[in-house]
Amino acid sequence: ASRRAHDPSSSSSSSSSRLGVDQLVAMRALLSPTCVASSAARVTAISRRRDVSDIRIGTRTSARMARGRVLSRASARNTDGSVEREFATTHTAQGSRRAILGGVAAVCGAWSFPTRAGAADDLGTAPETTGGLGSATNAVVGAVVVTGANSGVGLSAAKLLVAEGKTVVLACRTAEKAWDAKRAILAKVPDAADRVLVLPNVGLEMTDLKLTRDYVKALLDSGIPLDALLLNAGIMAVPLGRTEQGHEMHFGVNHLAHFLVQDGLARVLRDRAKATGTPGRIAATSSIANMLPGAFDVNDLDWQRRQGSYEKWAAYAASKAENVLLTDEFARREGAEPLVVANSFHPGIVTTNLVRYILPELTAENRDPEAERQTTQGQAMSKMGIRDADEGAKTHVWLATAPEAAKVTGRFFLDPGLEYPGDGNVTHEQLVAAQDWFLPLTTDPLAKQLHMPERFFDWRTAENAKKLWERSAEMTEAFKV
């Protein structure tokens, strides 16, 4: 198998007990900054107990399958073939911040939850019988495209949008994954088959810009009018690897492929906006991990200069900063009366399948947030500020559908309507309600003197946004539709 699989329900009791302790240690690192360094050492130990040198993350097939060749999506080996270098745990401020992020990620998705029962064949129409696009009446209904819609918050966002009566295009790595997602959604939202769209015989493979272009072209050729584009797909904390075009994996998947997607689909959003009189919408899933100091370097986007000191968390954080800069620059280019608004957001600390890149054997491939919420573990995690996928998807849905969200652009949100840092308009009460109580505010003691939290966003400048856009345009020029 290309990726190690593990069913959490089959774990031994001793393993479950050990992992429970590890997660408590990780949570302690999150809650108690003074003990971050020692706690992070425990988190690091979790990874060190695994031989990650033989892990492969996903597989991708293409026309080359006809010649018997299967391409790997990403390798967990370093480029020199050695086992990945774990991040250093120190007592410095930077080390502490990174330990906090590692603690957060180690907690997310690390407990065993009930898995969703296999969907019956009649929950979705087989691709052979419909071609995937459903009823032709959808041609007059605007759709929401969700990238990475087959798992985690992407799947939940698609499900919630369909439940609200929206038409959704499931943009997944393969058409098979999209069909699986459709069946899962129809299990929760029956009689919505015509509003859950799958492009036949093509997937959104984001590790290869050629295949990304193929998907965008297929979507354009379908003639589906678009109301919104949710740039949600992503990878997290992957050891150094390169895409088909040689780009660092986080930069290539989380940012560059999405840049190509929005570049190809923006004109469809604008056309729809002209026809309806309502702005189209682009929303990018970022993360508060973007605040990691020193991660983003606009002069070394592909980690060529820094390859020898590559750190997977810094690479992930940089890509999440790039998500924000992408929507910031898109908003600037649209001008004062935009046909398309663009915003980014942090979905919260969410238990999703992203954690498979860190703790692959702890991942439940088919998660059921509603069932999880009823378990003792799920309720405890909620009290600690950790969201399930449905809760994490609420800002996706708000940005894609709410009338007030069509009136703002170039913003970064923590929750529906809750902008951060927010120019002093955010209160601790709002952060607590958003389960992001640990974030600093400009009104905190010494915040003004320490330039907090603005210092966390020192990369968020108009100059960086412009440079990133221009360099991304150069890198994707050969693949534009």
Beta bridge partners, 340, equal: 280
310 counts as catalytic: no
Cis peptide before 360 (omega within 30 of 0): no
Question: Is the C-alpha dihedral spanning 424, 428, 432, 438 positive or negative?
Answer: positive
Residues 6+ apart with CB under 8 A from 403: none
Amino acid at 373: R
Strands 340-345 and 386-387: unpaired
Radius of gyration of the chain, Cα coordinates, nearest whole angstrom = 21
Residue 247's nearest CA partner among 470, 62, 3, 476 is 476
Q: Alpha-carbon distance 149 to 353, whole Å?
A: 12
Cβ atoms < 10 Å from Cβ of 445: 7
Q: Which of 215, 316, 357, 420 is catalytic?
A: 316
Q: How many CA atoms lie within 13 A of 233 on its CB side?
A: 30
First-to-last CA distance in the chain?
A: 34
CA pair distance 199, 219, nearest whole angstrom: 7
Q: How many CB atoms are closer than 10 A to CB 92? A: 11
3-state secondary structure of 248: strand
Of 265, 204, 176, 260, residue with least CA distance to 73? 204
Task: Find residue 72's DSSP bridge partners.
Answer: 59
Pairwise CA distance, residues 437 & 423, whole Å: 17
Q: Which helix (H) or strand (E) holds 343?
A: strand 340-345
Task: Give CA angle at 469 (466, 474), nearest 5°.
Answer: 125
- Provide CB contacts within 8 A for 275, sequence distance 6+: 225
DSSP string, 409-422: -S-EEEETTEESST
CA atoms of 369 and 160, how far apart (whole Å): 12
Q: Are 197 and 138 in contact (CB under 8 A)?
A: yes
Instruction: Tell how strand 196-197 and strand 71-75 pair up.
Output: unpaired
Q: 17: which residues sit within 8 A by CB, 6+ positions away?
A: none
C-alpha to C-alpha distance for 286 and 327, rounded to whole angstroms = 10
Q: What residues are annotated to the active site?
A: 316
